[in-house]
Structure 1
Amino acid sequence: MWYPPKVTQAPSEPISKEEAKRQCSVLHDDDDALFDALIAAARDYVERYCNTPLATQTIELKCDAFCDFDRLPLAPVQSVTSIAYVATDGTEATVAPGDFEGRFDGLEASIIPAYGKQWPVPRNGSRITLTAVVGYQPMPPSIKHAMLLWIADAYEQRESKEVPGWSAFDALLCNHRRGA
């Protein structure tokens, strides 16, 4: 079982303020703070919509067993920084980089033992910590274009425009709601 990821190195925004302003045909600097906020909101919205990290960032994930590595909960994965666990004697340990192999196939990612190797035995009840670099490098043009469209729409419709049964307020918060 995987637990929620912790971002240890925040992403840089994949769209510059200049790109966003050009998309909106804005030539002045009066709304620069607004564009910074819209860029961050667009990235957050698209990451939650696609359920994948967009910009390069370092994350820390914890799981209960090495068998969880058969399918990582986040992708795309660029690289693995470390795999740490608690050994059966209670000491902190890491898996040597040569003892595992990453299989990072786009939105499907897994980590397997290297040929002739096997996963170590962790202490019962402890968690395994995977530190990895995730996100697109480079970002697909279609995602970048979708973000620019979202920014332009949000800039033009700065007020919460009501669509039958749906508003900008609803769209921004739908991915943050917790079921009853």
Structure 2
Amino acid sequence: MWYPPKVTTPPTEPVSVAEAKRQCNVLHDDDDALFAALISAARDHVERYCGTPLAQQTVEVKCDSFCDMARLPIAPVSDVDIEYVATDGTEQTVPDAAYELRADGLDASVVPAYGQNWPATRPRSRIVVTAIVGYETLPASIRHAMLLWIAEAYLNRENAETPEWTAFDALLTNYRR
């Protein structure tokens, strides 16, 4: 069983204020703080909509056993470090050569390397996976969807009815996890 991830190194925003202003055709600096807030809100919305982190960040996530590694709860993943409590009660780190990260887009898993086995853990202890997650380079369709969301939020600051299916949905549909 996986437990909720904890962000240990927060992401930098994948869209700049200058890009957001350009999308909205804004030439003044009066709303820069608003744009920064909208960028953060857009990233949060897209991350929750897609169920995946956008910008690279470091997270710590815990699980109950090594069999949980067959499917990581968060992706895309570019690197992992694994710590556990050995049967004698000492904290140990699994050597990098003992496992293989299989980061296949939105599906990620960690498996023992050829000829290796997972170590024995202390009963009822948790395994801690520290992972670098998110896109190194944000896909163009996600960036564009964020810019559409920001422009819509900037231009229509009150609640308004939206159509059931939008360009925002269409751009992000392939990135949902």
TM-score by length of 1: 0.89
Post-superposition CA distance 1:55-75 (Å, at most 9, x none): 000000000000000000100
One-letter amino acid matched to 1:117: Q
- Establish whether residue 122 from structure 1 lines up as the match of residue 121 from structure 2: yes
- The residue correspondences of 1:50-65 to structure 2 (distance < 5 A) are 50-65=50-65
| Equivalent position SS for 1:75 | coil
Q: Give the whole-Å Cα distance in 2 for the aligned partners of 1:137 and 1:92.
A: 31
Residue matched to 1:22 = 22
Q: Give the whole-Å Cα distance in 1 for the aligned partners of 2:102 and 2:161.
A: 45
User: Per-residue deviation at 1:161?
Assistant: 2.3
User: Per-residue deviation at 1:163?
Assistant: 5.4
| Equivalent position SS for 1:110 | strand
Residue matched to 2:146 = 147
User: Per-residue deviation at 1:160?
Assistant: 2.1
User: Per-residue deviation at 1:159?
Assistant: 1.6
| Equivalent position SS for 1:46 | helix
Residue matched to 1:133 = 132
- The residue correspondences of 1:52-91 to structure 2 (distance < 5 A) are 52-80=52-80, 82-91=81-90
| Equivalent position SS for 2:20 | helix
Q: Give the whole-Å Cα distance in 1 for the aligned partners of 2:146 and 2:120.
A: 44
Q: Give the whole-Å Cα distance in 1 for the aligned partners of 2:55 and 2:72.
A: 18
- Establish whether residue 38 from structure 1 lines up as the match of residue 34 from structure 2: no
Q: Give the whole-Å Cα distance in 2 for the aligned partners of 1:41 and 1:48.
A: 11
One-letter amino acid matched to 2:117: Q
CA RMSD of aligned residues (A): 1.3
One-letter amino acid matched to 2:121: P
Q: Give the whole-Å Cα distance in 2 for the aligned partners of 1:62 and 1:153.
A: 37
Post-superposition CA distance 1:90-133 (Å, at most 9, x none): 11111001100000000000000011100001100000000010
Residue matched to 1:176 = none
| Equivalent position SS for 2:108 | strand
The percent identity for this pair of structures is 67
| Equivalent position SS for 1:18 | helix
One-letter amino acid matched to 2:95: A
Q: Which segments of structure 1 move beyond 4 Å, counting only runs of 4 or more? A: none
TM-score by length of 2: 0.90
One-letter amino acid matched to 2:137: P
Post-superposition CA distance 1:143-166 (Å, at most 9, x none): 0000000000000011222559xx
Residue matched to 1:7 = 7
Q: Give the whole-Å Cα distance in 1 for the aligned partners of 2:60 and 2:53.
A: 13
Unaligned runs of 5+ in 2: 164-177
User: Per-residue deviation at 1:137?
Assistant: 1.3
One-letter amino acid matched to 1:143: I
Q: Give the whole-Å Cα distance in 1 for the aligned partners of 2:22 and 2:52.
A: 26
Unaligned runs of 5+ in 1: 165-180
